[in-house]
Structure 1
């Protein structure tokens, strides 16, 4: 009886964890770039009552007799399938159609000239700060290749015009280099620019005060051999882990990276109908395990009553 009771307890704990994951998925159904979780169970150790035996000249073989002792969590996966895209019409709302993450990072100085502490995200709601730098809602700079001299305090434009430099990448796991020799720097738009746009390959251009189309930079993207190994660090960010593999940097539309859709945002990949179905199954599983515990308790009570 105690074995069945402890098996029921293990089931309760696991279904509670499953409900926690489902609850988090539902809570983030409208979170841009959110990737849903999935709970996988596996059985616990089994006690062997009698071992297997092979066939003989007079009898056939006998299978082992085992009693399972409950279940445990095998994995809590992050599912990196793409979410649906929502049209916003905002130029700096960017969705990735395909593989890859945006890279956001802190600046190393004021004004920033390089990056530190990079993190990865699929949430592409970006903005311009008061100095014209492209940032996310937390003020982190978008990882890109540019020369901030393209937008100095005097708002003089970088001489590179209407097209981005040709991107060439080196070995897997290294960052791309550009034929124009641009360094990794935050992308900045002059404060007096008339308009700006972001191409499908991440090229950022703007129309200066004189009506000339200018090049501002190109967004860098990253992907991993095992995106499921990334660690969620909150605020729509992922971090590299020892099991995510070496990050591969490139630009959109090249070397397996998805394209960037300006004016769209990627919604959560949570399917409410699927989550509600999983919630019903988890609820019934939880209830069934409570019945195991209460039934075991009733049987133990009957055994105690034998003494009366």
Structure 2
């Protein structure tokens, strides 16, 4: 009886589904977090009677056939890159992206990572960095005696210097990808480029379809609590039904064993 194995694959699939949902819910307040969705595919089939097979010399064929499936597998945990809600913080170094694009972050090993988390700070040298101390690329250095930091929608960073003059400190640029769902998440709100995502396209905010920047705002997670709870209930019921199939198969085995 294959029902035990088939139902077991269903239970494993729903267990993973719940793990994905739990990670989404755990990151409901994570800045710039993008939720995931578990996608499933059916496994191989055993053909007991192949459709289209000839059944007589007159050329009659089997219209449907007999196929027995062998269960389910997890095909992907797709990341949903939809826009999250922008929340006002009024902090001058908090920046949200409204639309397409990722901030470029320089990692300690020299590699470039990408992020939607714009909660930036200044390090001891005045360099614009993430909360982990990674520099934003291209580098922006804010002098110690400057004030009234202004970051415009197109990424231009300006301050009032110690002499009271307006100074232009540089330009924040964004990166975007043909397949942004193909980026590899490495934690700390960072992603890496992969062959699936395609090469990064770099431009100024607001140009050629890139999003613009909003100073004093942060993009929140795009996780919707109601949707996640509904998905959790569905996954729990699917897990329960698969467990009932295992119980039914076990009872059928028991009946067969007890035949005298």
TM-score range, shorter chain: over 0.9
- String of CA shifts for 1:251-285, please: whole Å, max 9, x gaps: 11112210000010000000010000000000000
- Which residue of the partner structure matches residue 170 of structure 2? 217
Q: Point out the more displaced range, 56-65 or 201-210.
A: 56-65
Alignment partners' CA distance in 2, 1:224 and 1:31:
22
- Which residue of the partner structure matches residue 44 of structure 1? 43
- Which residue of the partner structure matches residue 185 of structure 2? 232
Alignment partners' CA distance in 2, 1:58 and 1:130:
84
Matched, 1:133 2:127: yes
Indicate how the Cα distance of structure 1 residues 290 and 188 shifts in structure 2: closer, same or farther if over 3 A, else same: same
- String of CA shifts for 1:149-204, please: whole Å, max 9, x gaps: xxxxxxxxxxxxxxxxxxxxxxxxxxxxxxxxxxxxx2111101122110101110
Matched, 1:289 2:239: no
| TM-score normalised according to structure 1 size | 0.81
- Which residue of the partner structure matches residue 88 of structure 2? 87
- Which residue of the partner structure matches residue 155 of structure 2? 202
- 3-state SS in 1 of match to 2:111: strand
Residue 59 of structure 1, CA deviation: 5.7
- String of CA shifts for 1:26-51, please: whole Å, max 9, x gaps: 00000000000000111111111111
Contact 1:33 / 1:236 at 8 angstroms: preserved in 2? yes
Alignment partners' CA distance in 1, 2:75 and 2:132:
34
- Which residue of the partner structure matches residue 12 of structure 2? 13
Matched, 1:266 2:240: no
Unpaired runs of 5+ residues, structure 1, are 109-115, 145-185
- Which residue of the partner structure matches residue 169 of structure 1? none
Indicate how the Cα distance of structure 1 residues 58 and 48 shifts in structure 2: closer, same or farther if over 3 A, else same: closer
Contact 2:4 / 2:245 at 8 angstroms: preserved in 1? yes
Unpaired runs of 5+ residues, structure 2, are none
- Which residue of the partner structure matches residue 141 of structure 2? 188
Residue 287 of structure 1, CA deviation: 0.3
- String of CA shifts for 1:131-151, please: whole Å, max 9, x gaps: 21111100000112xxxxxxx
Alignment partners' CA distance in 2, 1:278 and 1:223:
30
Contact 2:96 / 2:218 at 8 angstroms: preserved in 1? yes
Alignment partners' CA distance in 1, 2:37 and 2:132:
28
Q: Number of residues paired by the alignment? A: 258
4+ aligned runs moved over 3 Å, structure 1:
53-61
Residue 130 of structure 1, CA deviation: 2.0
Contact 1:93 / 1:126 at 8 angstroms: preserved in 2? yes
- 3-state SS in 2 of match to 1:232: strand
Alignment partners' CA distance in 2, 1:34 and 1:194:
31
Residue 107 of structure 1, CA deviation: 6.2
| TM-score normalised according to structure 2 size | 0.95
- Which residue of the partner structure matches residue 70 of structure 2? 69
- Which residue of the partner structure matches residue 117 of structure 1? 111
- 3-state SS in 2 of match to 1:249: strand
- Which residue of the partner structure matches residue 34 of structure 1? 33
Contact 2:50 / 2:62 at 8 angstroms: preserved in 1? no
Indicate how the Cα distance of structure 1 residues 306 and 239 shifts in structure 2: closer, same or farther if over 3 A, else same: same
